[in-house]
Amino acid sequence: MTLLHAATRCNTLQHIATHCNTLQRTATHCTALQQASTHCNILQHTAIHCNTLQNTATCVITLQHTATHCNTLQHTATRVDILQHTATHCNTLQHTATHCKALQHTATARNTLQHPATHRDTLQHTAARVTPLQHSATLCNILLHKHPRTVNTLGRHRSS
């Protein structure tokens, strides 16, 4: 082998060695990129999971708010039922008071006409019951005037 031929071969081997070093560095760089890609995939999966959890938390908060609203509506409905019952009772008492006033007027007229004592005693006994009923009707009127909006609402509710 000639010196020139040996020198050419050395240059070729040196070029191949340089190329091998470049390939080795590229392989190391590719391994690092693969690891980074795997890490990115894990982070992306975690982000999707976090979004799902955040959406679930939002739904839970909305459901809690809805449950609170339902409880408030149920409480209000109970109060409306009580007020409806009270309004019905007040209407009955007012009607009874009106009837008692008529009986009291009749009793007064009969006393004036000097009817038999038996009828007078019965009418006086009835008249004595009128005062408590009139008092109850007055209290009902006070309740109705203090809560006219509720009574108006109850009236519309019944007709619906």
pLDDT tens profile 68-102:
999 999 999 999 899 898 888 888 888 888 888 88
pLDDT of residue 138: 76
% the chain with pLDDT above 90: 43
- Number of separate domains in the chain: 1
pLDDT at 58 over 80: yes
Whole-number pLDDT of residue 62: 94
115 falls in which pLDDT band (50, 70, 90)? low
Q: Identify the pLDDT of residue 160.
A: 41
Domain-embedded: residue 18:
no
Tell me if 143 is assigned to some domain: yes
pLDDT at 114 over 60: no
- Residue 154: pLDDT band (50, 70, 90) is very low
Look at residue 48 and tell me if it is in a domain.
no
- Rounded Cα–Cα distance for residues 2 and 65 (Å): 94
Mean pLDDT of the residues in the chain: 82
Q: Which of residues 145 and 117 earns the better pLDDT score?
A: 145
The answer to whether residue 156 is domain-embedded is: yes
pTM of the model: 0.42
Position 90 scores a pLDDT of 84
Give me the percent of the chain exceeding a pLDDT of 70.
80
Return the pLDDT at 132: 74
Residue 159 lies in a domain: yes
Give the DSSP per-residue string, 56-95.
HHHHHHHHHHHHHHHHHHHHHHHHHHHHHHHHHHHHHHHH
Residue 36 lies in a domain: no
Domain with 149, as residue range(s), is 84-160
Q: Is 109 a domain residue?
A: yes
CB-neighbour burial class of residue 124 (10 A; exposed 0-12, middle 13-18, buried 19+): middle
Taking only the tens place, the pLDDT of each residue in 39-56 is 999 999 999 999 999 999
3-state secondary structure of 158: helix
Residue at 68 is within a domain: no
